[in-house]
Amino acid sequence: MLATEWSEVSPLADLLVRSAATHPDRSALVMPGLALTYAELYEASTEIARGILGLGLSARAKVGILANNSRELVTALFGTALANCVAVPLNARHKSLELGYIIENADLALILTTAADTRYVDFREVLTNALPSLAASSADAPLSLAEAPLLRAIVVLEGDAPAGFMTRSALIEAAHSVPFARVDAARRATRLRDTALIIYTSGTTANPKGCLLSHEAVTRGPVERAGRRFRAREHDVTWGGGPLFHIGSLAPFIGVIGTGGTYVTDVMFDAGRALELMERERVSVAWPWFPAILQPLLDHPEFHPGRLAALRKVLLIAPPALVDRAQRTFPKAEFMQACGMTETAGIFALCSPDETPEQRTVSQGKAVPGVEVKIVDPDSGVELAANQVGEILVRGYCVMDGYHRSPEKTAEALDGEGWLHTGDLYARAPDGQLSFHGRAKDMLKVGGENVAAIEVEAYLCGHPAVKLAEVVGRPDPRLDEVPVAFVELRPGCNASEAELIAFCQGQIASYKVPRAVLFVSDGEWPMSATKVDKRVLRARLQSGG
């Protein structure tokens, strides 16, 4: 039998060039009050690329991008790629201390930011606090900061530029000295295994780690899946509810650009605005990803399935009860769960077309073509038999090349055979189906018994009053640690600590039953980019807060 599918891998900037040539008048990006065609995106990105080169940056220089979802973010991303430089998307939620560390650690030569919308955060203020000597610097000369020796400029692409910052007009003036042919030459010199992105991810270490992601890693899988697995019609309109500095949203955005689709998003996620936008644009593919995005959409008082009648493909990672509810709400749509992380440039496993709705509620699919996975004992490294829970290892084109300027952390994560040790716990069925069992650090040790936090969380979410549950370990002198649940209740619902504990008793093993339940209101969860930050929850327990 002959194969009928093949890979067409290209550098990141080439995706935009191709789509601008084939669909110049089609909308590439749609946001409230904004519709940017491929021709406009290419032209604006090229202007930024000319500015980058006009400022004297060399090939593969590091360019930080600090912005919420916006025209400025996407043009900065592709402008950096067109100039054959490395884009470093910066988490818009990071505070000055974290940003200061990343700016120096990433060897940033340039930062592109915006002050067009300061309702949520003023990036100029955050950067000024992160770089104490910035305020005394002149924008008329390259920066020379002791805390960031390689940084030459910070450009405000939209909004006023305070002391130490460069205006957009100054960047455009630098661009005028660079002919288009020089940008095209820089782009065409890009190699597939060059680093395209450095995305910093927080983990168990004190400081974030910068994942080195090649052009092949960030384009191959997203474009293949957008063109085949996720395709619902000839011109797909894809909605993403998350921030584009996070790989969970950036990867599908890259897939959309690579296939000439339209990407729909907003500055920040708001369920009501999202529903209006999705209905207006007749979204065919949606990436709500996590319960924190999907659940508010379904629970919104103005939600009705008919508003999203064009929806045919949905990507998410959620507890079984929520997946089942979503599938029943949209019976014509295919729901797919997946496995992914920053270190694998997004998805490395995905539900296959032949899976039943029941399988999709409890499984995160199978390894995608071209990528290998295996489940090993976390202590011995021995590969485990089917259905046994262990650490999942990943190997393939999507795996990062290491952590930037951190050979010791790279050696811990990547072994000599190219396997990425993820720290995630999975089991694999005989047919290859993967099921997630939490993070290794989320495995509690209660009196010698292993307790996967995700198992207790999933059970608590089965209570009709529980909207979200997160379980962490509290130190215990007798049992080493015991489970404690942080719970957010659904609007209009009530449940007491005693009621939720009683709900678990007799249904899950006694050592898995939470010893305490602490209630959290909507908006009070400590968040990373898209997930609850359990390190903060553990700290609250230790401090008694």
pLDDT tens for 166-177 read 999 999 999 999
User: Can you tell me the distance from the alpha carbon of 30 to that of 28, in angstroms, rounded to the nearest whole number?
Assistant: 7
> Are residue 422 and residue 516 in the same domain, yes or no?
no
For a pLDDT cut of 70, what percent of the chain falls above it?
A: 98
What pLDDT, on the 0 to 100 scale, is given for residue 206?
Answer: 59
Residue 460 lies in a domain: yes
**According to the per-residue pLDDT averaged within each range, which of 115-129, 176-190, 454-468, 510-524 is highest?**
176-190
What pLDDT, on the 0 to 100 scale, is given for residue 123?
Answer: 96
> Are residue 98 and residue 235 in the same domain, yes or no?
no
Residue 249 lies in a domain: yes
pLDDT tens for 232-280 read 999 999 999 999 999 999 999 999 999 999 999 999 999 999 999 999 9
Going by their DSSP bridges, the two strands 166-167 and 153-156 should be labelled as parallel
User: Can you tell me the distance from the alpha carbon of 458 to that of 451, in angstroms, rounded to the nearest whole number?
Assistant: 13
pLDDT tens for 62-88 read 999 999 999 999 999 999 999 999 999
> Are residue 221 and residue 205 in the same domain, yes or no?
no
Please check the confidence at residue 205 and state whether its pLDDT lies above 70: no
pLDDT tens for 531-543 read 788 888 988 887 7
Among the three residues 176, 209, 242, which one is the final residue of a domain in this structure? 209
What pLDDT, on the 0 to 100 scale, is given for residue 498?
Answer: 96
> Are residue 197 and residue 232 in the same domain, yes or no?
no
CB–CB of 512/455 below 8 Å?
A: yes
Please check the confidence at residue 2 and state whether its pLDDT lies above 80: yes
Q: What value does the mean pLDDT take over residues 96-109? A: 94
Domain that holds residue 68: 32-209
> Are residue 384 and residue 265 in the same domain, yes or no?
yes
> Are residue 94 and residue 224 in the same domain, yes or no?
no
For a pLDDT cut of 90, what percent of the chain falls above it?
A: 81
pLDDT tens for 129-157 read 999 999 999 877 899 999 999 999 999 99
> Are residue 224 and residue 120 in the same domain, yes or no?
no
3-class DSSP state for residue 257?
A: helix
> Are residue 205 and residue 95 in the same domain, yes or no?
yes
Q: Where residue 160 sits, what CATH number does that domain have?
A: 3.40.50.980
> Are residue 367 and residue 218 in the same domain, yes or no?
yes
pLDDT tier at 529 (50, 70, 90 boundaries)? low
What is the DSSP annotation of 339-404? EEEGGGTEEEEE--TT--HHHHHH---EEPTTEEEEEE-TTT-PBPPTT--EEEEEEETTS---BT
User: Can you tell me the distance from the alpha carbon of 326 to that of 489, in angstroms, rounded to the nearest whole number?
Assistant: 19
> Are residue 171 and residue 226 in the same domain, yes or no?
no
Q: What value does the mean pLDDT take over residues 182-198? A: 98
Instruction: Return the C-alpha torsion angle 145, 190, 349, 512, nearest 10.
Output: -10
Mean pLDDT is lowest, of 113-117, 139-143, 218-222, 436-440, for 436-440
What pLDDT, on the 0 to 100 scale, is given for residue 73?
Answer: 98
Residue 6 lies in a domain: no
> Are residue 65 and residue 202 in the same domain, yes or no?
yes
**Number of domains composing the chain:** 3
Q: Where residue 244 sits, what CATH number does that domain have?
A: 3.40.50.12780
Q: Where residue 493 sits, what CATH number does that domain have?
A: 3.30.300.30
pLDDT tier at 478 (50, 70, 90 boundaries)? confident
pLDDT tier at 545 (50, 70, 90 boundaries)? low
> DSSP 3-state helix, strand, coil percentages of the chain (rounded to 5)?
35, 25, 40
CB atoms within 10 A of CB 527: 13
Q: What value does the mean pLDDT take over residues 281-308? A: 93
What pLDDT, on the 0 to 100 scale, is given for residue 379?
Answer: 85
User: Can you tell me the distance from the alpha carbon of 393 to that of 396, in angstroms, rounded to the nearest whole number?
Assistant: 10
> Are residue 248 and residue 164 in the same domain, yes or no?
no
User: Can you tell me the distance from the alpha carbon of 451 to that of 443, in angstroms, rounded to the nearest whole number?
Assistant: 6
Model pTM? 0.87
pLDDT tens for 315-360 read 998 888 899 999 999 999 999 999 999 999 999 999 999 999 999 9
Sign of CA dihedral 463, 533, 521, 250: negative
